[in-house]
């Protein structure tokens, strides 16, 4: 991961906050649909061309319907284009993929900057690190982001995110991930987002590179202060895989990650959590597991500084409605 991301996130947040279009509602209906089909039957052959066609500071929902197929391209939704829905034909049916790596701020296959963005029914992948053969003997595992989300009030439904290191960069803002599949091995959900992962399947695996990754980390959350509202909440869902993993390591001195009623498989390392570069700040972290189940849910060998949160308190404070949907933005997302 790049340690420049905090500066970038703060810079972009100031831009987002100044936009009245992204702060106001987009309505609750799709007013126009743009079809993308790589075979040529749609208006555009690439996802990026369809996004580019949307008018600046759009204030009504525009759907970009991406037909089945594999789209090899880097996709960026610019800050000036809110109120966009990108919808595929299904997970592993519509796939957007690319092979970039190195710095996190330039490697992402799919990058979203504005508020009020919805992505659903598709797969987004970064293929770097995922191939078992590389032509150059100097090749090594590097950060390779599949998705980077900067904008507030963004939602991802029925999506697959595939990578190995730094798969999902949850940069900043309130985000709702529901019924998603997220795959990786090293810090593969990271950033300063204020997000709920609801009924998501987390798969910890290094795939063909298992011999090079002896263990990994699911989250690297970067909360910076006690007043910072960010944090990752995993509500129900499951953690499984083939690579042993910590549930998280600290990417900030007040890192916050909570698992509630999640099915944790035996791949979870007994200690559960790691301070990383913030050893000495452990009492400032909020790492908690509430009513979890499964072979990996035994907390008897967890680090002594995990938070002991009351079940009722956790369910209320970290519910979707309380943690990210205080103003009801999710209910304004048009239905499938």
- Determine how β-strand 201-204 pairs with β-strand 117-126: unpaired
CA distances, 263 to each of 233, 260, 294, 306 (Å): 14, 9, 5, 18
In angstroms, the CA 255 to CA 278 distance is 9
CA distance 23 to 7: 22
- Nearest residue to 170 via CA among 115, 230, 215, 81: 230
From first CA to last CA, the distance across the chain in angstroms is 34
For residue 271, what are its two tokens? Answer: 């200690």
The residues that are catalytic are 166, 187
Alpha-carbon separation of residue 328 from 281, 325, 332 (angstroms): 35, 5, 7
SS3 for 284? helix
Separation CA 73–CA 164 (nearest Å): 19
Going across the sheet that includes 147-149, the strands are: 75-77, 110-112, 147-149, 168-170, 186-191, 216-221, 245-250, 273-274
Q: Which residues have C-beta within 8 Å of that of residue 258, sequence separation ≥ 6? A: 231, 232, 233, 234, 286, 287, 288, 289, 290, 307, 309, 314, 318
Residues 21, 191: Cα–Cα separation, whole Å: 25
């Amino acid at each position: 991961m790049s340690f420049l991301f905090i500066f970038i996130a703060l810079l972009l947040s100031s831009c987002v906050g100044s936009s009245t279009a992204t702060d106001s509602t987009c309505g609750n209906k799709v007013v126009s649909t743009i079809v993308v089909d790589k075979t040529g039957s749609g208006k555009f052959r690439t996802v990026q061309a369809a996004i580019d066609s949307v008018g600046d500071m759009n204030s009504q929902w525009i759907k970009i319907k991406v037909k089945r197929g594999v789209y090899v391209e880097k996709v960026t939704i610019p800050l000036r284009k809110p109120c966009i829905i990108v919808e595929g034909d299904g997970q592993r049916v519509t796939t957007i993929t690319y092979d970039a790596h190195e710095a996190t701020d330039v490697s992402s296959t799919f990058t979203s900057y504005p508020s009020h963005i919805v992505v659903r029914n598709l797969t987004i992948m970064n293929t770097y690190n995922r191939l078992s053969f590389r032509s150059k003997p100097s090749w090594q595992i590097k950060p390779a982001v599949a998705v980077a989300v900067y904008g507030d009030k963004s939602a991802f439904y029925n999506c697959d995110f595939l990578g190995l290191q730094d798969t999902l960069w949850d940069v900043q803002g309130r985000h709702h991930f529901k019924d998603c599949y997220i795959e990786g091995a090293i810090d593969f959900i990271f950033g300063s987002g204020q997000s709920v992962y609801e009924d998501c399947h987390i798969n910890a695996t290094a795939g063909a590179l298992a011999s090079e990754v002896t263990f990994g980390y699911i989250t690297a959350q970067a909360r910076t202060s006690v007043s910072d509202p960010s944090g990752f909440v995993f509500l129900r869902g499951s953690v499984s895989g083939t690579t042993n993993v910590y549930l998280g390591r600290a990417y900030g001195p007040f890192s916050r990650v909570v698992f509630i009623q999640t099915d944790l498989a035996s791949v979870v390392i007994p200690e559960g959590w790691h301070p990383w570069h913030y050893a000495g700040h452990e009492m400032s972290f909020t790492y908690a597991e509430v009513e979890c189940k499964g072979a990996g849910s035994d907390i008897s060998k967890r680090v002594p500084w995990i938070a002991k949160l009351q079940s009722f308190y956790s369910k209320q404070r970290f519910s979707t409605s309380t943690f990210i949907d205080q103003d009801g933005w999710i209910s304004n997302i048009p239905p499938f």
